[in-house]
Amino acid sequence: MNSLNLRIDLHVHTCYSSDAVTTLKEVIVYSKKRGLDGVAITDHDTLSGARKLQNSDLIVIPGIEITTTNGHLLALNVNTPILPNLDINETIQKIHKAGGIAVAAHPTLFYKAASSRRTAFYDAIEVMNSSAVPFHLFTYLNKKFATRLSLPQTAGSDAHYAPEIGTAYTIVEADPDVEEIVRAIKKKATIPVGKPIPWRIRLKGEALRLKRKT
Ligand SMILES: [Zn+2]
Ligand SMILES: [Zn+2]
């Protein structure tokens, strides 16, 4: 089988995150609509959504966005829950034990509970995050960070609302298989592609999220 250039949004939340409104069905519908080959489901500190989302047309990488004492960390290709609120390197060790890879989420985004710019044993750096404002400044800073550590670069929408899915994605040169994709990411066979979430969509998403909370 020849390797393909797969388009994968490596940072997607579902309604299993308390701050997101996307249903599992919407993940599939919008991923197809945006021409993606796959998504990583990375809900905050839970695998519940990722476990339930299985679809034959879409590659689904089970993941978690883990809250560590040093900010957010994406665990990709994990099938067991990983405890939040631990030190970042301790968390990375647990991810590796679980067979996954650790990606620094929005590492330079200082206004969120971001991964600090602290050097840790990351496998890759998320250099594009469509939720970050201003997008181009953070993309520049994240790329600089990744280059300094000479680590692979990934991109994801950080979608919390279905129409945001695919605003950024990673082109991964790999066979369409989760293990192969993760291996390719580690080998730097990635190209981050993306843009910021348009304001019109961002505001609609915020309104829906507020409605859900009240
Ligand atoms: Zn985050
Ligand atoms: Zn996120």
Q: Residue 42 Cα, ligand 2 centroid: separation in angstroms?
A: 7
- Determine the distance separating the centroid of ligand 1 and the alpha carbon of 113, expressed in angstroms: 7
What is the per-residue pLDDT across 119-138, written as a single tens digit (0 to 9) for each? 789 999 999 999 999 999 99
List, for residues 78-112, the tens digit of each pLDDT value: 999 999 999 999 999 999 999 999 999 999 887 66
User: Ligand 2 center to residue 167 CA distance, Å?
Assistant: 14
Residues with CB under 5 A from ligand 2 (ion): 65, 158
Cα of 112 to ligand 2 centre, how many Å?
Answer: 10
- Ligand closest to 13 (CA) is 2
The model's pLDDT over 21-59, given as tens digits with 9 standing for 90+, comes to: 999 999 999 999 999 999 999 999 999 999 999 877 899
Mean pLDDT over 156-168 rounds to: 98
CA of 4 to the centre of ligand 1 (A): 29
Query: What contacts 20, CB < 8 A, 6 or more positions away?
Result: 13, 14, 43, 159, 160, 161, 209
Query: What is the distance in A from the centroid of ligand 1 to the CA of 64?
Result: 10
Q: Residue 12 CA: which ligand is closest?
A: 2
Q: What is the pLDDT of residue 54?
A: 80
The ligand whose atoms approach the alpha carbon of 64 most closely is: 2
Q: Which of the ligands is closest to the CA of residue 71?
A: 1
Rounded Cα distance, 68 and 66, in Å: 6
Which H/E stretch holds residue 32? helix 24-33
The full set of domain ranges for the chain reads 4-213
Establish how many alpha carbons lie within 13 A of residue 33's alpha carbon, considering only the half-sphere containing its beta carbon.
12
Question: How far apart (Å, rounded) are the C-alpha atoms in residues 36 and 58?
Answer: 8
Distance 2 CA to ligand 2 centre (A): 32
What's the 10 CA to ligand 2 centre distance in angstroms? Answer: 10
Measured in Å, residue 128 CA sits from the centre of ligand 2 at 12
CATH T-level assignment (fold) for domain 4-213: TIM Barrel (3.20.20)
Per residue in 199-210, pLDDT (tens digit) is 999 999 999 989
